[in-house]
Amino acid sequence: TRTGMLTRAATTTFAGMRRARPSVAACARVVMPHLRRGGRFNSTATPKAQSSVPPTAAVPPPAQSPIARFGAWYESCLESSPILTKMVTSGILFSCGDVLGQSIMRARAPPGEEPPAFDWGRLTRATLFGGIFYPPVAHVHYNFLEWIVVTRWAVSVTMMPWAKMFLEQFVYWGYFSNAYYHAVLGALQGMGPDQIYHRVADTLWDTMKAQWAFWIPVQLLNFKFVPVRHQLNVVLVVSLFWTTFLSIAFPPAKVAEDKEGTKAT
């Protein structure tokens, strides 16, 4: 019948298709050689010719200048031991400022008068203050300013230098740092509590007025452009001139006069 003929034709067709289906092994034998040739299925393709130019040797990095090497070394010290590094830096710069101040005072001696002898005790006191007493406190101060203005208050980038400057100069640090300077130096000179109090009271206002004129523009630029870890270093470098001013404005002779006057009262 017609139905039987169609059934036999379909069975024959499927059987032929089953016999013609390639096995997995046959496909692998065809494909693997091409994969070994890097995926190139054109068996007649010639391998890429190797360049006859020898490979270029690795170029060593350019030699750093002594200043660049010192900067990299100082940066590593600042990262590993920030307070100790700032103590050494501050002690050196404070001593240089005192030497410069004493040199200026000797050069300003009136004609015909012998210039004052170099005061090694004064240099020692300046170095001790700059190397031991000042850097740890200043380190805490600058990190505190960063925390309260940037992290706690989230002040905008535009207002951040002004907020830091206002807190530093008019809220707490300006008064404390100058009183701290005169008090520590007075104690190192052997002054008693009453003498230290009168010294701070007599010099603080004049020092503050000079500080506002000198440090406000410096600190605005410092807070604006310098990272926190280097802000104290900027202050220390600029303090070379500030310390020179303090050495000239408040010399040991004036301290001795104040000390004698306090004893007399």
Instruction: Assign 101 a pLDDT band (cuts: 50, 70, 90).
Output: confident
Q: Which pLDDT belongs to residue 225?
A: 94
Is the model's pLDDT at 41 over the cut of 90?
A: no
Tokens 């013609």 found at: 20
What was the pLDDT predicted at 114? 87
**pLDDT at residue 264 in the model:** 40
pTM (two decimals): 0.68
Confidence label for 131 from pLDDT (cuts 50, 70 and 90): very high
The band of 210, judged by pLDDT with boundaries at 50, 70 and 90, is: confident
**pLDDT, the chain, mean:** 80
pLDDT at 263: 45
The answer to whether 102 and 123 are in contact (CB under 8 A) is yes
Most confident of 114-118, 165-169, 242-246: 165-169
Residue (of 107, 132, 116, 92) closest to 256 by Cα position: 116
Mean pLDDT computed over 237-257: 66
pLDDT classification of 259: cutoffs 50, 70, 90: very low
Burial-class residue 59 by CB neighbours within 10 Å (0-12, 13-18, 19+).
Answer: exposed
Q: Report whether 245 contacts 218 (CB < 8 A).
A: no
